Amino acid sequence: MTVLARPRALPSSYASSRRHRGDPMRWVFFAAFLVVTFALMLPVIIIVLTAFKPASEVNAFPPTLFPHQWTLANFEAIFSELPFGRLILNSFGFAGGVTVFALVFDSLAAYALARLDFRGSRILLIVIIASLMIPFQATLIPIYQLVSQLGWVNTFAGLIAPRAADAFGIFFLRQFFVSLPRDLDNAARIDGASEWRVFRSIVLPNAVPALLTLGIFLFVNNWNDLLWPLVFTTDQNMGTITSGLTLLTGPGGIIPQGVMMAGALLALLPLAIMFLLVQRRFIESVASTGLK
Partner 1 sequence: MTTHNLVRPRRYRPPAQLGGRTPLNGSFKRRATIVGFLAPALIILGAFVAWPMISALQLSFTDASGFGTPEFVGLDNYVRVFTDGEILQSMGNTALYAVLFTPTAIVVALLLALVINSPRLPFRGFFRSTLFLPFIVSLAVAAFAWSYLLDPQIGLLNYWLQAVGIRIGNVLQDPTLSMPTVVVVAVWKSFGFYMVIFLAGLQEIPTSLYEAAQLDGAGGWKRFTNVTFPMLSNTITFVVIVALIAALQAFDQIYVLTGGGPYRSTETIVMQIYQSGFKDLDLGFASALSYVLLIVTLLLSLLQFLFFGRRSKDINS
Residues in 54-113 that interact with partner 1 by CB under 8 A: 58-65, 104-106, 108-109, 111-112
Please say which residue, 66 or 70, places its beta carbon nearer to partner 1.
66
Kindly identify the residues of this chain, within the stretch 231-250, that bind partner 1 according to CB under 8 A. Answer: 242, 245-246, 249
Our CB check for partner 1 shows the closer of 212 and 238 to be: 212
The interface mask with partner 1, positions 7-46, x = CB under 8 A, is xx---xxx--xx-x--x-xxx-xx--x---x--xxxxx-x
Q: What does the DSSP assignment read for 72-119?
A: -HHHHHHHHHS-HHHHHHHHHHHHHHHHHHHHHHHHHHHHHHHHS--T
x-marked contacts with partner 1 along 142-181 as a string, rule CB under 8 A: xx-xx--------------xxxxxxxx-x----x--xxxx
| Of the candidate residues 68, 76, 79, 134, the single one contacting partner 1 (CB under 8 A) | 134
Q: Which amino acid is at 114?
A: A
How far is the C-alpha of 111 from the C-alpha of 113, rounded, in Å?
5
The DSSP secondary-structure symbol of 13 reads: S
DSSP string for residues in 123-170: HHHHHHHHHHTS-HHHHHHHHHHHHHHTT-TTSHHHHHGGGSS-HHHH
Other beta carbons within 10 angstroms of residue 121's beta carbon come to 15
Cβ nearer to partner 1, comparing 72 with 104: 104
Q: Which of residues 263-292 bind partner 1 (CB under 8 A)?
A: 264, 267-268, 271-272, 275-276, 279-280, 283, 286-288, 290-292
